[in-house]
Amino acid sequence: MDTVATLKGLRCPQCGSEDLDVKGKAGSMGKELAGAFLGGAIAHLAVSRSASKNVETVPIAYVCKNCKHKFQSLPLAAQQEDILSAPCTISFTRLSGFVGALAAMVVYLNGVNCGVVKNGATITLQTSNRWNTMFVTDQYGVAFKSVYRFEAVPGGTVAVRFKRKFVE
Ligand SMILES: [Zn+2]
C-alpha cells in the first residue's frame, strides 16, 4: 500500500491548534523562517499510484492562526481508515484572467506539488485521501489566501475552479 499524503491532523507544534494559514513553499518567505521547526513525518512520499508524475513533496510554511507561530512541515501520512477504496478524480481549472495571465500557478493537493497550471487550463488529479486540502501558489511559491477543503468519495469526481481564489 502506498503512502497517501494528508494535511488532516497537522497541528501547530507550539499550541496544538489545527487552525493554520498556508503561507506557501518553505523558503519563499525569505529569512523569516530560517531555522524554523520542520515537522511532518515523510521525506519521500508518493501521493498515490495514479497521481500525476510531476509530484514533488516539499516542506510547506504555515502560520498558526491561534498563536501566530510560524513553522514548516511536510505532509502527514493518511490514516488507513481515511484512504479511499477507489480514487476520486479532481479536475482543477484555472479560470482565464487578464491579471497575471502569463504567470505560472502551482497546484498543491494535500501539501504535495502537483504541477503548474497555465491560464485557462485544466489539470486532472486523483486522490486516495478522503479529507483533501488544496491550495495554489504563485511562481515564487507564495500561497494565495484561499484554501479549499473537501471530502472525497470513492470513485467520485470533483470539479474545482480557481481564479486567484477558489470559486464555488
Ligand atoms: Zn499555535
pLDDT level of residue 154 (50, 70, 90 thresholds) = very high
Residue whose entry in the numeric block shows the C-alpha cell 491532523 = 9
Give CA–CA dist 38/108, Å, rounded. 19
How close is the Cα of 32 to the center of ligand 1, in Å?
Answer: 17
How close is the Cα of 14 to the center of ligand 1, in Å?
Answer: 5
pLDDT in tens, 23-43: 998 776 544 443 334 444 333
Q: Average of pLDDT values for 85-97? A: 94
How close is the Cα of 151 to the center of ligand 1, in Å?
Answer: 25
How close is the Cα of 73 to the center of ligand 1, in Å?
Answer: 14
Q: What is the percent of the chain with per-residue pLDDT over 90, rounded to a whole number?
A: 65
HEC letters along 41-57: CCCCCCCCCCCCCCCEE
How close is the Cα of 71 to the center of ligand 1, in Å?
Answer: 9
How close is the Cα of 18 to the center of ligand 1, in Å?
Answer: 8
Q: Where are the domains of the chain?
A: 5-167
DSSP for 118-151, please give it. Answer: -TT-EEEEEEEESEEEEEEE-TTSBBPS--EEEE
> In this structure, how many other beta carbons lie within 10 angstroms of the beta carbon of residue 84?
19
> In this structure, how many other beta carbons lie within 10 angstroms of the beta carbon of residue 85?
8
Which amino acid does the sequence have at 107? Answer: V
How close is the Cα of 81 to the center of ligand 1, in Å?
Answer: 27
pLDDT in tens, 78-89: 999 999 999 999
How close is the Cα of 19 to the center of ligand 1, in Å?
Answer: 8
How close is the Cα of 62 to the center of ligand 1, in Å?
Answer: 10
> In this structure, how many other beta carbons lie within 10 angstroms of the beta carbon of residue 45?
21
How close is the Cα of 158 to the center of ligand 1, in Å?
Answer: 31
pTM: 0.83
Greater model confidence, 135 or 52: 135
How close is the Cα of 63 to the center of ligand 1, in Å?
Answer: 8
